[in-house]
Amino acid sequence: MYFIPCHISLILGILSAYAVLSGNRRSPDGIAQWKIRGLQLGTVILAAGIVVSGISISSGALGKPGMTYAITLDASRIDTTEETTFLVPLPVDTSSGVAADVVDGLIVTEGDAVWSIVDTEHGKALEVRTSTKCILYAEKKCGYMEQEEREEWLQRHDVSMIHKMDGGTYDVWVYASNANATMYLKLWKHTGLRGNIHCLDNDRTSLDEGWQTVELSWSMVLCD
């Protein structure tokens, strides 16, 4: 655990309250008892404010980061009876190059699809075979982390098959075995702090046959 300034404020506030409440309660000569009690009460209120402030800051330093991955693939308008095979980006742990554990919970929430994780010439990919419109969805929530650990976790996770990066925009590799299919990808990275979500997505994109690049853009979503 990291020792941060909010912990100091908690300790000082508690010690201040203890010192006031346990100190000598005899009034010095010439000073009324009610004035002494008023001063003690004011000091306790001030100390309580320090404690509450420390708790608030401490709570803000902790967060529960997470990740949500959703991809919509539509092969229903293709004039063929065969399935369309897609190879699309998926979340990866960039420190090891393996698929992020959020994918362990991947499910098909709409349509019919068979999927697997495969290695391609452009990196890890989610292979999906379908002849319908399908949606695949996964999410992961972590336990509480302090700021440094949380930021490291968020930075370590990204999408696979990145061809080019330009600021908040990625060009990623995508494959479709038939033309006229569409793809819509969303990756939410929850910072663990209230209202802060980083979202990577694309406009609903019509795909050509074979390998191609699709543009994804990062944005910040502010929630109540």
Mean pLDDT of 23-32: 56
Out of 44-58, 168-182, 188-202, the most confident range is: 168-182
State the pLDDT at residue 45: 62
Name the band, by pLDDT with cuts 50, 70 and 90, for residue 154.
confident
Q: Which residue has the higher pLDDT, 197 or 50?
A: 197
Which tokens is 51 given? 């404690």
Q: Give the lowest-confidence range in 4-18, 37-51, 80-94, 130-144.
A: 4-18
Q: What pLDDT score was predicted for residue 6?
A: 46
Q: What is the pLDDT of residue 62?
A: 72
Least confidently predicted of 12-16, 34-38, 54-58: 54-58
Q: Give me the pLDDT at residue 100, please.
A: 94
Query: Is residue 176 pLDDT above 90, yes or no?
Result: yes
Q: What is the mean pLDDT of the chain?
A: 81
| Contact yes or no for 199/107 (Cβ under 8 A) | no
Poorest-confidence range of 101-105, 173-177, 209-213, 220-224?
220-224
For 140, 181, 184, 192, 194, the CA distances from 134, given in Å and listed in that order, are 21, 11, 11, 29, 31
> At CB < 8 A and 24+ separation, what contacts does 55-62 make?
55/6, 55/10, 57/4, 57/5, 57/6, 57/9, 58/4, 58/6, 58/7, 58/10, 60/193, 61/4, 61/6, 61/146, 61/147, 62/144, 62/145, 62/146, 62/192
**In terms of pLDDT, which residue wins out, 33 or 211?**
211
Asked whether the predicted pLDDT for residue 135 surpasses 80, the reply is yes
Comparing 178 with 193, the larger pLDDT belongs to: 178
- Range in 62-66, 72-76, 94-98 with the lowest mean pLDDT: 62-66
Q: What is the DSSP string of the chain?
A: ----HHHHHHHHHHHHHHHHHHS--PPPTTS-HHHHHHHHHHHHHHHHHHHHHHHHHHHHHEE--EEEEEEEEE-TTSS-SSPEEEEE--EEETTTTEEPGGGGG-EEEES--EEEEEEETTEEEEEEEESSEEEEEEEEE---EEHHHHHHHHHHEEES-EEEEETTEEEEEEEESSTTEEEEEEEEEE-SSTTEEEEEE---EEE-SEEEEEEEEEEEEE--
The domain ranges of the chain are 5-62, 64-222
pLDDT of 194 above 70:
no
- Report residue 167's pLDDT band, with 50, 70 and 90 as the boundaries: confident
Other beta carbons within 10 angstroms of residue 15's beta carbon come to 12
**pLDDT score, position 55:** 47
Burial (Cβ within 10 Å: 0-12, 13-18, ≥19) of residue 222? exposed
Please tell me the distance from the alpha carbon of residue 88 to that of residue 174, in angstroms, as a whole number: 5
